[in-house]
Structure 1
Amino acid sequence: MSTVLVVHHAPSPRLRRLLEAIETGLAHPELEGISVESVPALATTDDHVLRADGYVFLTPANFGYMSGALKHFFDRTYYTCEGAVSGRPYALCVHGDNDTSGAVTSVEKITTGWALQAVAPAAQITGEPGREELDSVADSAATVAAHLLG
């Protein structure tokens, strides 16, 4: 069984709706054989990262950057996991009030350092997420799982 790790910082109602969409996408019946571990960024450990076969990252855009919680997660796990997670698939979802590009760039620099493989374009959502955005986020998460299933 393959595992998808969802590392998230979802302090607002909008981000919690996006997290629910991610978890819904990963629970699709066609993705049998995938287990999901959804862990807040501040509680995620090296072991979580190393045990997982793929990843979904969810963060707000704060002051043009990823959240401090997600940054702290990467700071704590980067060197321990570097080289051990190369080639694993991931998807990224960023929510902001107006601009998400800096947060996307900051996460993509780290995922490039880990040599992760983006299997969907970064979901960049501003304002209130509608049905289309929630479905897109669910599809991106499901793409990570589908990639693991071959």
Structure 2
Amino acid sequence: MVMVSDMTANTKTLLIVAHAPSPNTKKLAEAAYKGADHPDLEVKVILKSPQDTQPEDVLAADALLLGTTENLAYMAGLTKDFFDRCYYPVLEKKQGLPFAVYIRAGHDGTGTKLALKTITTGLRWEWIQEALILRGDWQEAFTTQVEELAMTMAAGVEAGIY
């Protein structure tokens, strides 16, 4: 899964890294892309799966929105793999990167949130808001919440707030 919006060379970039192993989590990834790629915003939006995301993608981004599932009270293995591959190549170069996350959690999402806080604290990334945790049984409202998060993040990137 790779989606890229068209923008000029000077346009800021929002990278969305979304683990989407199910139809519902795919809806969340698509909602994130839709929100960030709003026609009134001048932001280049790139949507990639964790396994397709390379350190170069993070280095080229002005902000990062991460979507992951909660698996066994932890982030998805492919999300962890993304961090394993990208951590050291971006560590010194992307300090202060604006960051947000949505977690699709069957339980409470706190283990995933804690793990992500630990990793991103080490990277010195800046959380723009608390984790959006989508708890319990699937609700269509989850897509609206993710779309709004992505749109807010893209607007902040465009305005230079983040």
TM-score class, shorter: over 0.9
TM-score by length of 2: 0.86
In 1, Cα distance between equivalents of 2:96 and 2:57:
17
Partner of 1:76: 85
Equivalent of residue 122 in structure 2, options 109, 113, 117: 113
Q: How many residues align?
A: 148
Once the two structures are overlaid, the 10-residue window that deviates more, 69-78 or 110-119, is: 110-119
In 1, Cα distance between equivalents of 2:84 and 2:65:
17
Partner of 1:53: 62
Structure 2 counterparts to residues 1-150 of structure 1, below 5 A:
1-31=11-41, 33-126=42-135, 127-131=137-141, 133-150=142-159
Per-residue deviation, residues 11-38 of structure 1 (Å, max 9, x unmatched): 011211111111111011221x201111
Q: Is the 8 A contact 1:65 1:106 kept in 2?
A: yes
3-state DSSP of counterpart to 1:141: helix
In 1, Cα distance between equivalents of 2:149 and 2:130:
8
TM-score by length of 1: 0.93
Partner of 2:7: none
Per-residue deviation, residues 46-91 of structure 1 (Å, max 9, x unmatched): 1001001110101100000000001001001101100211112111
From the two aligned structures, give the one with the greater helix fraction.
Answer: 1
RMSD: 1.2
In 1, Cα distance between equivalents of 2:151 and 2:93:
23
Q: Percent identity?
A: 32
User: Which residue type is aligned with residue 93 of structure 2?
Assistant: A
How far off is 1:99 after superposition? 2.2
Q: Is the 8 A contact 1:119 1:143 kept in 2?
A: no
3-state DSSP of counterpart to 1:30: coil
Contiguous gaps of at least 5 residues in structure 1: none
Contiguous gaps of at least 5 residues in structure 2: 1-10
Q: Is the 8 A contact 1:50 1:85 kept in 2?
A: yes
In 2, Cα distance between equivalents of 1:119 and 1:97:
24
